[in-house]
A and B are shown apart, each in its own frame.
Chain A
Amino acid sequence: MTQSRLHVPHPPARPGETPDFSYLKIPPAGSVGRPDTLAPALQIEALGTEMVRVLDEQGHAVGPWNPHLEVEELQIALRHMLLTRRFDERMQRMQRQGRISFYMKSTGEEAVAVAQAMALRPGDMLFPSYRTQGLFVVRGRSLVDLMCQCLSNTHDMCRGRQMPIMYHWAEGNIFSISGNLATQFPQAVGWAMAAAIKGEDHLAASWIGEGASAEADFHHALTFAAVYQAPVILNVVNNQWAISTFQGFAGGEQRTFAQRGPGYGIPGVRVDGNDFLAVYAVTRWAAERARSGGGPTLIEHVTYRAAAHSTSDDPSRYRPKEDWQSWPLGDPVVRLKAHLIALGEWSEERHVALEQQLEAHVTACWKEAVAYGTLNEGPTLDPLSMFEDVFHEMPAHLRRQREELRRLLHGPDAAAARGEGAEG
């Protein structure tokens, strides 16, 4: 007897069960070939099922994808990743203390944003998502500015209009983070099309989680990127979890996310997202391809969301507590550190000293940031500013509404309500 069936995906382990990552096929470091950057997409389909890895178990950089970075660059990379992690931890603590309303950590996936921002040029436009704060760190946005955004204070780049972590940086060529997931993916393609129309050498890069790849915007991005061969790097950060649903709910059980690329005629490259050198090398390959007229690349970064989705989430309700400790691709910070130590260019002592230095830096930044105000303590933003920037010039109806609020806040009735200016 035959019968149709409905398959509801289940993650390999739930709370109380033993973590199980046997679904992940991990080839040895250095085993995947590095094709010519202009190789036709359909001739390199295997890159979507394999996994580009450079750092081996002993911390050595091996194989054709080794980017052969200078020691100094590796040390800067380690610093960026550590600073991102220290920043995340501080902001998480400040949320728990009620100083900010919300936060999202990137713990365990710092290599993705840090390596990619380092591999790209300053003129390349980045369309970020959640957990890509490393982009801002690498491009040099001060932590004070990022903290002030989270605090919605008088120094906030968004003037109190956005939840924490929804940063942007126009001068640093980083687009605004949207809470409507995946919208930035096809926008990045449009930006890249414009660069090509204008005959410029810049490319665009964007990031989404594997969960958001289920949105129609993902399909729009890949279709437009393929049709116009836009100079864009589209990154799926497969951190295994979209709040409580595992990657199987975005289609990850049937094929890898990188394999979707060749379906559109776009190379799909799967990379060990916790291997700084591999992410760097794959990004360089894709950037060279884009700048040579070879068009877009889809990159899947295999990583793990070590922290909760956000400060509003409790992952112990849906996955084993010790899941990350069992994650076979390890911790990107630990792996880059081991590489530097294997090179004889780093030590535990220097690592501890750097961590202390960064922690002191984060503390100093926080101290400066809160001086510009917090959600609960002054100085505060002027509420009347909420009417600005809806349009380029404020139309009459908004001027009227602003006046109405001004009277409520500052008029005689407001004074009376505060017990001021009452006569008799």
Chain B
Amino acid sequence: MAQMNMVQAINSALDVMLGRDPRVVVFGEDVGYFGGVFRCTDGLQRKYGEHRVLDTPIAEGGIIAAAIGMGVNGLRPVAEIQFADYIYPAFDQIVSELARLRYRTAGDLCAPVTIRTPCGGGIRGGQTHSQSPEGVFTHVCGLKVVMPSNPHDAKGLLISSIESEDPVLFFEPKRIYNGPFDGDPHKPAVPWSSHPKGEVPDGHYAIPLGKADIVRPGAAATVLTYGTMVHVAEAAARLCGVDAEIIDLRTLVPLDVDMLCTSVRKTGRCVIVHEATRFSGFGAELSATVQEECFWHLEAPIARVTGWDTPYPHAFEWDYFPGPARIAAALRAVMESAA
């Protein structure tokens, strides 16, 4: 066991997989000699050479297309898109090609590509360095979509993603790269070393895709969330005193419907939290699923707390961010609502 922040845990996962599997190659903008703008690939090119850890041109569409070709030729590519906001030039290659190659060839050809990309706001990134586009990709058949909330999960989930036979979009909430952020930007930063999930095994371990995690057991209401918002939801529960059961989805596709619904059937109340915009966001899918599966157990309407349906504004970041106060208000509301 070692103390790691999320950057170090991701670096460790890549290190483990590059060491174990000669088919693994890691590439993207600035990931090679420099080690990545967030340092996730620091030292890997020195250790594994520039045929295994490569810098690429600034061309996201080219990066993903090349990854597909490499995957078809027997490699296990791990491509980095420097910010999730930059992923759109690769949209066609991801949606029309990567996601459907196995399907359209009836299983004869596939490309087991992992796409790592930092997402989310709270770093003064404005509308081109703060987006959470996971819902855009959960709508695509054939992609697995993962978003960890802590170093321990990040490493185990990234290893599973690289070992997956399916393409995986691995979103890294960059606000929590260095510490668990509870939604209050005015408090001093807390390091991962103070958090139990900052304890990370050195070697290989896998956390299966498709398994959610109960990060706070509770009886009064269920909170469904993922990424940075897991920590914000925990702060909100402390703030309002509601005995919330907080579930970290960890994998959005495939979704651990059983765990979510077991919890909602138990508590009868559900608050869905994500940083991404609300309209047609992943929360809408969660809300529909809970309604379909748990309707007769619900004591109150399902609540959603999300980013507003605007681009992420640079100057009003903390008015945009769905912070603890908004989540606490939603928790109180579902508690007060009479069935």
Contacts and interface: CB of A to CB of B under 8 A. Distances in A.
A79 B194 CA distance: 74
Contacts of B210: 395
A180 B69 contact: no
Interface string B130-167: 00000000000110100000000000000000001110
A191 B72 contact: yes
B128 interface: no
A204 B254 contact: no
A28 to B, nearest CB: 39
Nearest to A166: B104
A: contact size bracket: 35 or more
B51 interface: yes
B282 to A, nearest CB: 14
Given A186-B65, A217-B65, A392-B102, A194 B92 contact: no
B61 A187 contact: no
A175 B72 contact: yes
Contacts of A170: 105, 108-109
Nearest to B253: A395
A393 B210 CA distance: 12
The interface centre, meaning the residue of B66, B92, B257 with most chain A CB atoms within 10 A of its CB, is B66
A224 B254 contact: no
Contact of B65 (A161, A176, A220): A220
B70 interface: yes
Interface string A140-161: 0000000000000000111101
B188 interface: no
A389 B107 contact: yes
B339 interface: no
A302 interface: no
A1 interface: no
A396 B257 contact: yes
Contacts of A393: 165
B67 A197 contact: no
Contacts of B25: 194, 197
Given A125-B73, A183-B97, A221 B106 contact: no
Contacts of B106: 156-159, 161, 389
B101 interface: yes
A8 B67 CA distance: 37
Contacts of B61: 186, 216-217, 220
A17 to B, nearest CB: 37
23 contacts: A125-B72, A125-B73, A127-B69, A158-B105, A158-B106, A170-B105, A175-B72, A175-B109, A186-B66, A187-B68, A187-B69, A197-B70, A217-B61, A220-B59, A220-B61, A224-B62, A389-B106, A389-B107, A391-B254, A392-B164, A392-B165, A396-B254, A396-B257
Given A189-B69, A391-B142, 13 more contacts: A168-B108, A176-B101, A183-B93, A187-B72, A190-B65, A190-B68, A220-B59, A224-B62, A389-B107, A391-B102, A396-B258, A397-B254, A397-B255
A39 interface: no
B115 to A, nearest CB: 14
A162 interface: yes
Contacts, number: 146
List 3 tightest A-B contacts by C-beta distance, closest first. Answer: A190-B69, A220-B62, A190-B66
B75 interface: yes
Interface in B181-217: 210
A187 B65 contact: yes
Contacts of A158: 104-106
B69 A198 contact: no
A221 B66 CA distance: 9
Given A170-B108, A189-B65, A223 B73 contact: no
Contact of B69 (A166, A178, A204, A389): A204
Contacts of B102: 389-392
Contacts of B258: 396
B105 A188 contact: no
A161 B335 CA distance: 48
The interface centre, meaning the residue of B59, B74, B102, B164 with most chain A CB atoms within 10 A of its CB, is B59
A198 B104 contact: no
B103 A193 contact: no
Interface residues of B, number: 47
Contacts of B19: none
Given A389-B106, A397-B257, A194 B65 contact: no
Contact of B70 (A168, A191, A396): A191
Interface of A: 125, 127, 156-159, 161-162, 166, 168-170, 175-176, 178, 180, 183, 185-195, 197-198, 204, 216-217, 219-221, 223-224, 227, 388-393, 395-397
B89 interface: yes
Contact of B96 (A157, A178, A189): A178
Contact of B104 (A161, A188, A195): A161
A180 B97 contact: yes
Interface string B88-121: 0100110011000111111111100000000000
A257 B168 CA distance: 36
A224 B66 contact: yes
A187 B97 contact: yes
A296 to B, nearest CB: 13
B70 A190 contact: yes
A396 B70 CA distance: 30
Contacts of A187: 65-66, 68-69, 72, 93, 97
B254 A395 contact: yes
A194 B75 contact: yes
Interface in B47-74: 51-52, 56-57, 59, 61-62, 65-74
Nearest to A160: B106
Contact of A224 (B57, B74, B109): B57
A252 B142 CA distance: 38
B92 A183 contact: yes
B104 A223 contact: no
A178 B66 CA distance: 16
B109 A180 contact: no
The interface centre, meaning the residue of A158, A180, A183 with most chain B CB atoms within 10 A of its CB, is A183
Contacts of A188: 69
A204 B65 CA distance: 14
Contacts of A156: 106
A212 B29 CA distance: 26
The interface centre, meaning the residue of A187, A198, A397 with most chain B CB atoms within 10 A of its CB, is A187
B319 to A, nearest CB: 36
Contacts of A392: 102, 110, 164-166
Given A166-B104, A176-B104, A395-B210, A191 B59 contact: no
